[in-house]
Amino acid sequence: MLRTILLLVFSNMFMTFAWYGHLKNTSMPLWKAVAISWGIAFFEYCLMVPANRLGYTNGLSGFQLKITQEVITLVVFAVFAVFYLKEPFHWKYLVSFAFLIGAVYFMFKK
């Protein structure tokens, strides 16, 4: 499970830069931002596909993999938004994250 989570974290780091990294340079032509994002996303897929395969073959369901990936995505994005995009972090985001942690709890509850 730990290897799956680590692969998902690194995958989401690539994904976040691919999807949102270009927002700091909106003067870049859109076609160029798309091409660069596709190049970065390649590395995301190189980590995401093995993470999902590893997690699934080690007993996680597709639903469990997806909800885990979504929580990781939001944590990675929060760090990215605060430190790279320099956006403020509001208390309402913490409340939203708490609800997602609740979703993870219920997803894994037997």
Alpha helices in the chain (DSSP H): 2-20, 30-57, 62-83, 91-108
pLDDT classification of 28: cutoffs 50, 70, 90: very high
**Does the pTM of the predicted model rise above 0.85?**
no
- DSSP, collapsed to helix, strand or coil, labels residue 21 as helix
Helix axes 2-20, 30-57, angle to 10 degrees: 170
pLDDT of residue 21: 93
Predicted confidence (pLDDT) per residue in 48-104, tens digit: 999 999 999 999 999 889 888 988 998 999 999 999 999 999 999 889 888 888 887
